[in-house]
Structure 1
Amino acid sequence: MAEKIVLIDGHSILNRAFYGVPDLTNADGLHTNAVYGFLNIMFKILDQEKPEYLTVAFDVHAPTFRHEMFEEYKGTRKPMAEELRQQVPVIKEVLQAMGVKIIEKAGLEADDILGTISRMSERRGLEVSVISGDRDLLQLATEHVKIRIPKTKKGQTEIEDYYAEDVLNVYQVTPTEFIDLKALMGDTSDNIPGLPGVGEKTATKIITEYHSIENAHEHASELKPPRASKAIIEHWDLAVLSKTLATIKLDAEIDYEFADAKLGNLYTDEAYVYFQKLQFKNLLGRFETSELSNKIEDAFETITNKEKAEQIFTDAAKAERVGIALCKNTEDVLPLFADLAEFAGIALCCSDEHVYYIKTGNDISSAWLKEQTVQLVEKNECCIFFDVKNAMGELGSLPVSHSFDGTIAAYLLNPLKSDYTGEDVARERLNLLIEDKLPDDSKACYEAYTGWKAAPILQEQLKENNMWKLFVDVEMPLVETLYDMEQCGVRVEADELKAYGEKLGVRIHELEQEIYEEAGEIFNINSPKQLGVILFEKMGLQGGRKTKTGYSTAADVLEKLAPEYPIVAKILEYRQMAKLKSTYADGLAGFIQADGRIHGKFHQTITATGRLSSAEPNLQNIPVRMELGRLIRKVFIPEDGFVFVDADYSQIELRILAHCSGDDMLINAYRQAQDIHRITASQVFHVPFDEVTDLQRRNAKAVNFGIVYGISSFGLSQDLSISRKEAAEYIDQYFLTYPGIKTFLDNTVASAREHGYVETLFGRRRPMPELKSSNYMQRSFGERVAMNAPIQGTAADIIKVAMIGVSRRLKEKQMKSRLVLQVHDELLIETYIPELEQVEEILKEEMERAADLKVPLLVDMHTGNNWYEAK
């Protein structure tokens, strides 16, 4: 049987894969879908063909002979998408790592290279398969050269095969005649102009009868229809040009040795590393387990003997550092209930040689194992976990000062990601890709190993990025504070919550009836499509915005219409009421636990700016702009004998802006405790301080806070319902009033462009990849983020420092009062009434001295029998 060679049209298959595979990115933000799709197609072909030789040809982005000859047709193709362009060098690197022969040559297109090698291969007696998404290559088909064209149907790759006979059967022309067919009908995707007015059907009829354009031209007067006759006479030069463009070279001058294309072992260690970085887990099964994985797994040892387990804990306590991972038995547990899975064991790693999995059972009880682990953390000053707070939930309180949280460290180094698990750190810091379908004990061993191995790397990178102090002094101590808050929870009056929900239900029903009455019919108010038809077609409201799926009923559209149309105002209120009822009145009830309290979760590694986020439930999004929304706070109550003390920073972001900008006027205004919004209004609107109206002060307040968020004239005009010109004048006048702020914001954006990140006063970094985007909207967004992130991030750091200080002092004094909630710049203390004065003193001291700014940090404090009263 003859040997085989597979020839792949590199750019063609990469392009097809790019548009056929949904967008994928790896942890570094690199788009990988084209590379992934290319490899899948290549592997499928190789599995089918089992060839002895393999070559991939690429176009070189330099003028080819066709471009040089026909300059006017240059650039008719659409430019390559940026997300695709960045994957071209990646696929080449991957193929080289796999030992695949790559060939490209300036002045030649991949088609010409493939055509030449296909003829060389055929003369050598090889069976040839050419893989391309470009049907131009059908002209290469012979009895021994097969053209294979991949197609995607319903997410699956199908491949059409064409020998010479198949081309004739499908297109009614021979492979050679296929060139003439293309010359007449053209192909804009391949820069082949063709003849005006001649389509595929007419071209096919002409070539099947006359077999070439030259013969057809000799019989031009006989051609049908008349427009084809006219076209080939008047545009003969275009037909000749098109044939030249369509003809693939079969004798190009290339340096090619078949020995170089001999197919060897594709699944090299070098290729394995690339597949790890690209996160192609589904393709790793093609590799034998990597040497690194083998070495690590050889170190795994399951321990069921208590005496040996005791010795392991003794040795681990003396180790330089120890990686620790808890293991739960999730085999028969749905992912939704993974937290409820049974505790199964603990993995410990103190070296490359040994990763121990100590399993519960026999004489090793869960309680004993947990106790030993807590004691280990007390004795060893560097115990590495991924998610220390979660471990504390399983083991009880741990000495956080002896703990290193790999999740938080990875988050600080790149806060733009969504996952910071042990698997992510293994991949990014150790080039180790951990398979998904591993037993729970093996996953725990890998996690413990990763923690032990990666901790020094993470520590060094934090120091290099000047965030080690932030990690040690802020983020790690905060873990204990958040754990205490979650354990404590906040009490909720269930009956009040139910009554609040019923009150909302009544109002929702009233609004429904009023909306139906004004609309003149009953419809689904929650259906954007039905609502759009009612408002903009039936009722004829002006100002609608048509989209592909109907009229937009987004909030920004309706808010503009609300002042003029009562039905729109009622729809907006209906939405707010429905949101309150579903999310809070009904939603909160499901989170009340047996002790009558909600024990929400606080997350440190979600936001890019460093702000905390809350979940299960999210108490940071309770509406505060409408009274009915604020009333939900009434259901949050303290224990008997306690009151709530709510402490809120006053204008913290503006104060930080004053400090960072060094603007003298703003600094002096805060030092003299003046009304900053009234001062701004006086300057911007050119009126005496004492004559500033309430409206002017409100508008100045919008400008003050808008500047912090990099607001544009358009955004301000929308907020204040004024013209864009007026808004621009407000902003210009603002910067004349506070010139230091303008300089600071401009310098911050310039620095972000130069260094690729911005920093808070505490050293927290926020990478700014948006500033390098080719998309104008993305760059504009990046500029706004660059202005705001240092301010908002510093505010987040300050409140964290304050939380740590407040919580620590309450503990040190063994007080009954406890910190229960944090919402951005606000802290809520459930305060034992006899300790009220002391709590207020602690709050004031810790919050106001959390940072040393050029302006004072001030705190507003209120007391109440529920959160509403305290706020």
Structure 2
Amino acid sequence: MQDEPRDTAETSPTAEAAAPLATPVPAERPRTLLLVDGSSYLYRAFHAMPDLRAVPGDPASAATGAIRGMINMMQSLRKEVPADFAACIFDAKGPTFRDDIYPEYKAQRAPMPDDLRSQIEPIHEVVRLMGWTVLDVPGVEADDVIGTLAVLGAQQGLEVVVSSGDKDLSQLVNERITIIDTMNGKKRDVAGVTAEFGVPPSLMIDFQTLVGDVVDNVPGVPKVGPKTAAKWLGEYGSLDALIARAGEIKGVAGQNLRDSLAWLPTGRQLVTIKTDCALDAWVPDLPGFDNLSLRAPANDALRDFYEQYGFKGLARALGGGASSAPAPAPSAVPAPGPGDTGDLFADPAPAADAPTEPERALRYDTVLDWASFEQWLARLQAAPLAAIDTETTSLDAMRAEIVGLSFSVQPDEAAYVPLGHDYPDAPAQLPRDEVLARLKPWLEDASRPKLGQHIKYDRHVLANHGIEVQGYAHDTMLQSYVLEVHKPHGLASLAERHLGRSGLSYEDLCGKGVHQIPFSQVDVERASRYACEDADLTLAVHQWLWPQLQAEPKLQGIYQLEIASSEALYRIERNGVLIDAPTLHQQSHELGQRILQLETEAYEIAGQPFNLGSPKQLGEIFFDKLGMPVVKKTATGARSTDEEVLEKLAEDYPLPAKLLEHRSLSKLKSTYTDKLAQLALPRDGRVHTHYAQAVAVTGRLSSNDPNLQNIPIRTAEGRRVREAFVAAPGHVIASADYSQIELRIMAHLSADPALLHAFREGMDVHRATAAEVFGVAPEQVSTEQRRYAKTINFGLIYGMSSFGLAKSLGIETKAAAAYIDRYFQRYPGVKQYMDETRAQAKAQGYVETVFGRRLYLPEINSPNGPRRAGAERAAINAPMQGTAADLIKMSMVKVQQVLDQEARGTRMIMQVHDELVFELPEGEVDWLRQAIPALMAGVADLQVPLLAEVGVGANWDQAH
């Protein structure tokens, strides 16, 4: 497995996260009061999470997204902020004193969404069960409760931490009270508030009075923003002093201040957080805080709660109590039920009563002598399935060398063979080359089944040492990808989600950032624990996931395709593609000259030099100097000059067009022509990209280092980059590309007679569509009409609306809507397919490809309109994209099998979108032109023929 944290997307939870805080507190840490702005948290949870339901896909069942998000956030906060006393404070129903002072207070706020309102009580319940005191005091806003408790806590000598994203609470900050926002890592202490707002916390009430509060509908001084308010307070020292000298303030702002003098006392009263609320009825014995002690979670009740709301992953993580048994054997593992929605986006911290690793009676061996090695080798040779993992020197699979190997053949047992730990006083280790030589027969024996997590990486690492591993039967990363594509697939996430287990993290061993040490310098004993855990957890996760795949024949078929694809991709990555460095150097030089020319031309048009990357300077030149219209504004009210604005303005003005070209060429130069040659391996001059299988939810591959999918081919300069992908002497490059694959899949899925006819008869489908939509004979279709039809064909695949079509074609929305209506009249099967697919997605929460790959749509029943609309568009497109991904993988696998069977000199060197790229001897060109299209067309039997087209040339560009 890759030598990195087990799940790079998440931090590894610690067992201390859920421990009761009755444990003695270290002397060096002051006693801490943690106050959570629950109202801020629940809104964030609601809007951040997808539309989860207790019964997935059933909009009538209870909404659970905010509950799940709240659990995640409270668990994370408990880990990150050690505290002795804590409370989570919510706004109570009903009016407060501010409503009496100013009836329009918060009057413009939209009512709470019904789906959020229904989750309030369960959120209160689960937060209590997690060990927190929950407060919602009638007639008192959450901010005032927080303010009162914070000030009392500080007076009692406690360190007070308030967790909230609400800037209004900044007025509470002092040397003992700090505001943290765990969502973005922001900390508002005295220095932080001063830096952020330009005034210290002691002046925040005055600052807020001047600026007002748009969210709460509290007016400030008209036209006075944060900068003016900070400037005035800096000059005059306080709001009272400013009011006393209001007559000195000049201009419109000064007049607005004078006009607001009668309002400002009311405004100040509204924005001031009360710190003297009577809370004795809700928190007895104040100012003491013993009644706010943070408690241990009520795990039995929590488990029942999690089961009730469908959070089965969380329930499993709690186990069955302190004496929980290890994960069940494969035969006892149930498939996930329809309500298993609870662990979509984060994994739970281990429960306080979950079994810790020492309680599992683990048997982890560190192999330092030949006798132990031979015993384990015998176990490997006899095992029906063995998990194997590598620890290495690098994340780059083509450069990584082995530091050690770990194995597991039975649950809770594993061994680590250290081979390259080189710190001072490291124990004597077996010689690496000899160990690998003794392992090689077993590793290269296809009849000995093997298992791994991200096996493609380990295959490369072992190949770097001359070992071509055979017999990889399973990959837990790919098992998760097929079963639960919408969840994380790192080993740490899988182990916590399915087994309730966690272990050492890579950072625990090696540190972080600039202080991180290589794995070879990690203490062997700790390295052994980590490596053995990797192999042991991989085997245990497999025993959990594999029965679930076996229970779903279609998904098992997709998994087998992914395993076979991993083999083919390993070969493609290993082959790499030869790079012509001089060609890239020349292109970089030419691009640099053109970029400089564009800068000069831009200066001439603007009438002055300026920073082409400065939005502020662009705004001044565009809108103030050249008088261009403002297309849109940023969230802060600034005039936007983003890409969309530039494209709109470029229709009428030359300067934005120059800037767009400048940006495009600069990115092309920095990303590709400058860097591609640097990415080539010195030993072979070839670029070996990494194809990620378990990333895109549609099944598409992504590539990185370099990203071959994003080479911009719509411009001449972008297409030229492909000239640098060349063949070795005596060889040529060939490209085999599926033709109109997603349209053909649409025809198959919709079974629309007219579309089926067009493809079966080999017609130009865009011309045929134009003939249908415009009511003319195919031979009478104009170039413009065909262009319109092509845009409609591909637009509908991606769920394009009439507005989007109008924008693409540059026509009125009504005209675009008329074209779409006419299209559906002529192709009613397409309309029926779209309607039925949306309905199916809403009912079951996912759609499927032709071959059974599941594509989950968590937002399909979301109350948020834009999110729901996006999910509906994805429901239409995902089966086509996913089926296309399945087909290219089938082709890749089949082609590699034939190349091996016939011992051809042709090698696959790239897979990009719907295209396979080959390097082949010149003598095999005729064979490839005949064989490859036939193989690609024959991998599946759809209602329309599949068509693959081949091009051949000296480089990738010529092959097109």
Q: TM-score range by the shorter chain?
A: 0.7 to 0.9
Cα deviation, residue 726, structure 1: 1.0
The letter for the 2-side match of 1:292 is: T
Q: Percent identity?
A: 32
Q: CA–CA distance in 2 between the matches of 1:712 and 1:319?
A: 57
Cα distance 1:32–1:721, how it changes in 2: closer, same or farther (>3 A)? farther
**Please, which of 522, 540, 546 is the counterpart of residue 609 of structure 2?**
522
Cα deviation, residue 445, structure 1: 1.5
Cα deviation, residue 411, structure 1: 1.9
Q: Residues 61-91 of structure 1: CA distance to partner in whole angstroms, max 9, x if unpaired?
A: 7779999999x99986957988998698467
For residue 581 of structure 1, what is the aligned residue in structure 2?
Answer: 669
Cα deviation, residue 459, structure 1: 1.4
For residue 78 of structure 2, what is the aligned residue in structure 1?
Answer: 39
Cα distance 1:860–1:347, how it changes in 2: closer, same or farther (>3 A)? same
For residue 434 of structure 2, what is the aligned residue in structure 1?
Answer: 368
Q: CA–CA distance in 2 between the matches of 1:324 and 1:606?
A: 23
Is residue 413 of structure 2 the alignment partner of residue 354 of structure 1? Answer: yes
**Please, which of 371, 379, 383 is the counterpart of residue 315 of structure 1?**
379
Q: CA–CA distance in 2 between the matches of 1:860 and 1:462?
A: 35
Q: CA–CA distance in 2 between the matches of 1:757 and 1:128?
A: 54
For residue 885 of structure 2, what is the aligned residue in structure 1?
Answer: 796
For residue 856 of structure 1, what is the aligned residue in structure 2?
Answer: 945
Q: Indicate conservation of the 8 Å contact 1:13/1:133, yes or no.
A: no
Q: Indicate conservation of the 8 Å contact 1:57/1:114, yes or no.
A: no
Q: CA–CA distance in 2 between the matches of 1:842 and 1:670?
A: 22
**Please, which of 512, 536, 551 is the counterpart of residue 639 of structure 2?**
551
Q: CA–CA distance in 2 between the matches of 1:279 and 1:56?
A: 25
Is residue 478 of structure 2 the alignment partner of residue 408 of structure 1? Answer: yes
**Please, which of 343, 350, 355 is the counterpart of residue 291 of structure 1?**
355
Cα distance 1:820–1:57, how it changes in 2: closer, same or farther (>3 A)? closer
Q: CA–CA distance in 2 between the matches of 1:561 and 1:354?
A: 65
Cα distance 1:648–1:342, how it changes in 2: closer, same or farther (>3 A)? closer
Cα deviation, residue 249, structure 1: 7.4
For residue 832 of structure 2, what is the aligned residue in structure 1?
Answer: 743
**Please, which of 741, 753, 771 is the counterpart of residue 682 of structure 1?**
771
**Please, which of 498, 515, 534 is the counterpart of residue 429 of structure 1?**
498
**Please, which of 782, 794, 810 is the counterpart of residue 693 of structure 1?**
782
For residue 499 of structure 1, what is the aligned residue in structure 2?
Answer: 586
Cα distance 1:31–1:860, how it changes in 2: closer, same or farther (>3 A)? farther
Cα deviation, residue 476, structure 1: 0.4
The letter for the 2-side match of 1:559 is: E
Is residue 595 of structure 2 the alignment partner of residue 508 of structure 1? Answer: yes
Is residue 89 of structure 2 the alignment partner of residue 30 of structure 1? Answer: no
Q: Indicate conservation of the 8 Å contact 1:486/1:601, yes or no.
A: yes
Q: Indicate conservation of the 8 Å contact 1:401/1:477, yes or no.
A: no
Q: Indicate conservation of the 8 Å contact 1:648/1:860, yes or no.
A: yes
Q: CA–CA distance in 2 between the matches of 1:504 and 1:529?
A: 26
Is residue 734 of structure 2 the alignment partner of residue 665 of structure 1? Answer: no
Q: Residues 750-774 of structure 1: CA distance to partner in whole angstroms, max 9, x if unpaired?
A: 1111111111112111211122333
Is residue 542 of structure 2 the alignment partner of residue 459 of structure 1? Answer: no
Cα deviation, residue 583, structure 1: 1.7
Q: CA–CA distance in 2 between the matches of 1:669 and 1:802?
A: 24
Q: CA–CA distance in 1 between the matches of 2:293 and 2:638?
A: 55
Cα deviation, residue 97, structure 1: 4.8
Q: Aligned with 1:828: secondary structure? A: strand
After superposition, residues 794-833 of structure 1 pair within 5 angstroms as 794-833=883-922
Is residue 954 of structure 2 the alignment partner of residue 865 of structure 1? Answer: yes
The letter for the 2-side match of 1:518 is: I
Q: CA–CA distance in 1 between the matches of 2:128 and 2:138?
A: 20
Cα distance 1:494–1:188, how it changes in 2: closer, same or farther (>3 A)? closer
For residue 121 of structure 1, what is the aligned residue in structure 2?
Answer: none
Q: CA–CA distance in 2 between the matches of 1:264 and 1:562?
A: 59
Q: CA–CA distance in 1 between the matches of 2:548 and 2:956?
A: 42
Which structure's relative contact order is higher, taking Cα pairs within 8 Å and 6+ residues apart?
2
Cα distance 1:253–1:869, how it changes in 2: closer, same or farther (>3 A)? closer
Q: Indicate conservation of the 8 Å contact 1:304/1:364, yes or no.
A: yes
Q: Indicate conservation of the 8 Å contact 2:392/2:400, yes or no.
A: yes
Cα deviation, residue 710, structure 1: 0.6
Q: Indicate conservation of the 8 Å contact 1:348/1:448, yes or no.
A: yes
Q: Indicate conservation of the 8 Å contact 1:382/1:402, yes or no.
A: yes
Cα deviation, residue 59, structure 1: 6.3
For residue 123 of structure 1, what is the aligned residue in structure 2?
Answer: none
For residue 301 of structure 1, what is the aligned residue in structure 2?
Answer: 365
**Please, which of 460, 464, 487 is the counterpart of residue 393 of structure 1?**
460
The letter for the 2-side match of 1:433 is: S
Is residue 129 of structure 2 the alignment partner of residue 96 of structure 1? Answer: yes
Q: Indicate conservation of the 8 Å contact 2:92/2:137, yes or no.
A: no
Q: CA–CA distance in 1 between the matches of 2:358 and 2:44?
A: 37
Cα deviation, residue 112, structure 1: 13
The letter for the 2-side match of 1:460 is: P
- Figure out how many residues of one structure are paired with residues of the other and give that number: 787
For residue 529 of structure 2, what is the aligned residue in structure 1?
Answer: 442
Is residue 653 of structure 2 the alignment partner of residue 653 of structure 1? Answer: no
The letter for the 1-side match of 2:588 is: G
Cα distance 1:253–1:629, how it changes in 2: closer, same or farther (>3 A)? closer
Cα distance 1:572–1:809, how it changes in 2: closer, same or farther (>3 A)? same
Q: Indicate conservation of the 8 Å contact 2:299/2:353, yes or no.
A: no
Q: CA–CA distance in 1 between the matches of 2:838 and 2:735?
A: 36
Q: CA–CA distance in 1 between the matches of 2:890 and 2:594?
A: 42
The two structures, once aligned, show a CA RMSD in angstroms of 5.5
Cα distance 1:7–1:89, how it changes in 2: closer, same or farther (>3 A)? farther
Q: CA–CA distance in 2 between the matches of 1:229 and 1:512?
A: 54
Cα deviation, residue 429, structure 1: 1.3
Cα distance 1:133–1:441, how it changes in 2: closer, same or farther (>3 A)? closer
For residue 248 of structure 2, what is the aligned residue in structure 1?
Answer: none
Cα distance 1:793–1:188, how it changes in 2: closer, same or farther (>3 A)? closer
Q: Indicate conservation of the 8 Å contact 1:113/1:254, yes or no.
A: no
Q: Indicate conservation of the 8 Å contact 2:178/2:187, yes or no.
A: no
The letter for the 2-side match of 1:30 is: G
Q: Aligned with 1:698: secondary structure? A: helix
Q: Residues 286-320 of structure 1: CA distance to partner in whole angstroms, max 9, x if unpaired?
A: x9996332235842221111221121121133224
What are the ranges of 5 or more consecutive residues in structure 2 without an aligned counterpart? 1-30, 53-64, 150-155, 164-175, 191-200, 203-211, 219-239, 241-259, 267-273, 303-313, 320-341, 421-427, 510-521
Q: Residues 561-606 of structure 1: CA distance to partner in whole angstroms, max 9, x if unpaired?
A: 3243233333222222222222221121211223222111111112
Q: Aligned with 1:741: secondary structure? A: helix
Q: Residues 533-582 of structure 1: CA distance to partner in whole angstroms, max 9, x if unpaired?
A: 22222122235433337432333322233243233333222222222222
The letter for the 2-side match of 1:713 is: S
Cα distance 1:106–1:433, how it changes in 2: closer, same or farther (>3 A)? farther
Cα deviation, residue 637, structure 1: 1.4
The letter for the 2-side match of 1:645 is: A
The letter for the 2-side match of 1:681 is: A
Which range is displaced more, 651-660 or 685-694? 685-694
What are the ranges of 5 or more consecutive residues in structure 1 without an aligned counterpart? 1-5, 47-53, 118-126, 135-147, 160-169, 172-186, 194-203, 205-226, 236-244, 331-335
Q: Indicate conservation of the 8 Å contact 1:113/1:252, yes or no.
A: no
Q: Aligned with 1:350: secondary structure? A: strand
Cα distance 1:590–1:797, how it changes in 2: closer, same or farther (>3 A)? same
The letter for the 2-side match of 1:266 is: A
